[in-house]
Structure 1
Amino acid sequence: MKQKNAGRLFESLNITLLFILAVLCLAPLLHIVSLSLSSGTEITSGRVTIFPRGFNIESYQQMLQDVSMFRSLLFTVVLTVTFTVLCMLMTILAAYPLTKKGLKGRKFILYFIVLTMYFGGGVIPDYMLTKGLHLLNSMWALILPGLISPFYMIIMMSFFRSIPQGLEEAAEIDGASFNGILMRIILPLSVPVLVTLSLFYAVGRWNGFSDSLYYITDPKLYPLQLKLYQIVMNSMLVGQDAAERLSQLENPILPESLKAASIIFSIVPIVIVYPWLQKYFVTGTMLGSVKE
């Protein structure tokens, strides 16, 4: 009985702790949503918390009138899809051969790849290399430098190792080629890890900001995060005189409200994708960590 009560107590404390953490994670997001849907007078008075006050959607209306926002959204979608497809291709082509013990120099190649997780050239050498390759102000400057993640490659290798070797041996006996085994047996059995890592790559690229800040100066090639950065910086340049003029309006649109609306606009697409793929997370990341 004592053990049963202790289990219930632990479960209750665990649920309470998770609920508190969930509230702490959601509170900033709810505050941003409230700012985007609140009137300028309520925001100025500091009464906006996690619920909108003086509900209005003028910030969204003004933001959606900016054609460059949709151009940045379309470019970011194309960039993210291209980046994810190429990254998964490179990760698969690197991970699968490195799981084969018969591959000559396998350990050296693996150690060499893992070494890049701890040491890098730095921002300046990366910029000089990108400039030397004439990739500045191009989509490829945002794709090629991060084309493969050693950490994700190791996760995929672990998953491939968890697949019974007997399946590959049976396919070899039936005359299947190396590529045939990979395409017809390994990849269909690896859907959870493929979907999970694809989402990780996509989210990383969608939220990428620093590389576009370094390599992109053409406004037509601004990803959504860089466009958001420009909006934030422009709002910070609003002087005191402009702030006073806004405060005199009956229902002003404050820069804080416009920034909040832009943030929500940038995160909605990726948030929509998450629930559809969430079921693969635990399977994709945990199965690869169990070695038989």
Structure 2
Amino acid sequence: MTNVFPIGRKPTPATSTARGASKATRAPWEEPPTVVGRAAKVLTLTAVVGTVLVPLWIIVVTSFSTPGAINRAGGLVLWPDGLTMRAYREMLGEPTVRTALLVSLAITVIGTAVSMVVSVLCAYGLSRSGSFGHRAVLWLLIVTMFVSGGLIPTFLVVTGLGGYGQFWALILPSSVSVFNILVLRSFYSQTSSELIDAARADGAGDWRILWSVVLPTSRAVTAVITLFYAVGYWNSFFNVMLYMPTESEKWPLQYVLLTYVNRGIGLPGQTNGGFGETHAQTAPLSLQMAVVVLTLVPLLVVYPFVQKHFRTGVLTGAIKG
């Protein structure tokens, strides 16, 4: 075999040359992390996680604490001391809380369904560039993101339609988010035109295309937007303050918690939270924390089931954006 290299010169591996060139031209953020960099990341993530877990830990421990433990801790308990379920028994034994929990569930389920139906239909129509007037409607929606009608005009419209004191007033005024519609539209517009053309060639209409082509390819973003709407409805209480301030039997759980915390003396209908006069100042705090835990439990139960779609939807949205 003939030696193609000159005499006296050793061949240099191509890989080493490529590695040296790539290392010389590599951006600083592409360099392997150093020990200091790893430590900084660990400390940052620990601090972020701590800001979430520490308050949650304090809330849970305080909700299980006795009045004496709360007195000794000065208000908030950091470590379990004299645990008791009395606050939860008092809370779940109160008819107002049970009714408010059912109202919150009804608002969340019905409101999320209404919002998703309206948002999906609107987003699909706006994603079809050939639809009539889609550009004018799109710009009209975008304008409403920056210029709203105002609180008082909205209140007058809802009350003029007979919504004051009605259940639907807690859902319809805030049933649509333009931002969520635009996110869905951006996903739907990425649907392969070949799939849509093939479906139309098979005789499918827009309803069939939306149900059998667009929605199955957009499960991730649908799950994310559904979660956004559900969390918004579950945490909402402002519409109750506007349209239902005196009808306590229709209050959701969040508004019951708000009124309870503002009063600081017990659940509606109670005088001292059921703990006796000697603990009238500290016992309601454990009840407050118990109600807060109750409001967090449904979200903590639902989130693990949509976490996979949530991560996929957010990542895909960031890449497409």
* TM-score normalized with structure 1 length: 0.90
Unaligned runs of 5+ in 2: 1-22
Percent sequence identity over aligned pairs: 31
Report the Cα distance in structure 1 between the residues aligned to 2:83 and 2:210, rounded to whole angstroms: 55
Report the Cα distance in structure 2 between the residues aligned to 1:274 and 1:291, rounded to whole angstroms: 24
Counterpart in the other structure of 1:34:
61
For residue 116 of structure 1, give the secondary structure of its aligned residue in structure 2: helix
Counterpart amino acid of residue 57 in structure 2: L
Cα-Cα RMSD: 2.6
Counterpart in the other structure of 1:259:
288
Contact map agreement 1:160 1:186 (CA 8 A) in 2: yes
Write out per-residue CA displacement over residues 175-228 of structure 1, whole angstroms, 9 at most, x where no aligned residue. Answer: 211111111111111111111111110000000011111111211110110111
Counterpart in the other structure of 1:22:
49
Counterpart amino acid of residue 17 in structure 1: T
Report the Cα distance in structure 2 between the residues aligned to 1:126 and 1:70, rounded to whole angstroms: 31
The alpha-carbon deviation at position 4 of structure 1 amounts to: 6.4
Counterpart in the other structure of 2:143:
115
Counterpart in the other structure of 1:44:
71
Counterpart in the other structure of 2:209:
181
Counterpart amino acid of residue 198 in structure 2: A
Report the Cα distance in structure 2 between the residues aligned to 1:232 and 1:176, rounded to whole angstroms: 55
For residue 264 of structure 2, give the secondary structure of its aligned residue in structure 1: helix
Report the Cα distance in structure 2 between the residues aligned to 1:287 and 1:111, rounded to whole angstroms: 24
Report the Cα distance in structure 1 between the residues aligned to 2:39 and 2:194, rounded to whole angstroms: 45
Q: Between Structure 1 and Structure 2, how many residues are aligned?
A: 287
For residue 117 of structure 1, give the secondary structure of its aligned residue in structure 2: helix
Contact map agreement 1:137 1:218 (CA 8 A) in 2: yes
Question: Is 2:221 the counterpart of 1:193?
Answer: yes
Q: Which has the larger radius of gyration?
A: 2
Report the Cα distance in structure 2 between the residues aligned to 1:275 and 1:264, rounded to whole angstroms: 17
Contact map agreement 1:40 1:252 (CA 8 A) in 2: no
Q: 155-164 or 194-203, which moves further after superposition?
A: 155-164
Report the Cα distance in structure 2 between the residues aligned to 1:284 and 1:118, rounded to whole angstroms: 25
* TM-score normalized with structure 2 length: 0.82
Report the Cα distance in structure 1 between the residues aligned to 2:167 and 2:278, rounded to whole angstroms: 44
Counterpart in the other structure of 1:103:
131
Unaligned runs of 5+ in 1: none
Counterpart in the other structure of 1:163:
191
Write out per-residue CA displacement over residues 67-111 of structure 1, whole angstroms, 9 at most, x where no aligned residue. Answer: 121111111111110000110000011101111111232222111
Report the Cα distance in structure 1 between the residues aligned to 2:261 and 2:88, rounded to whole angstroms: 15
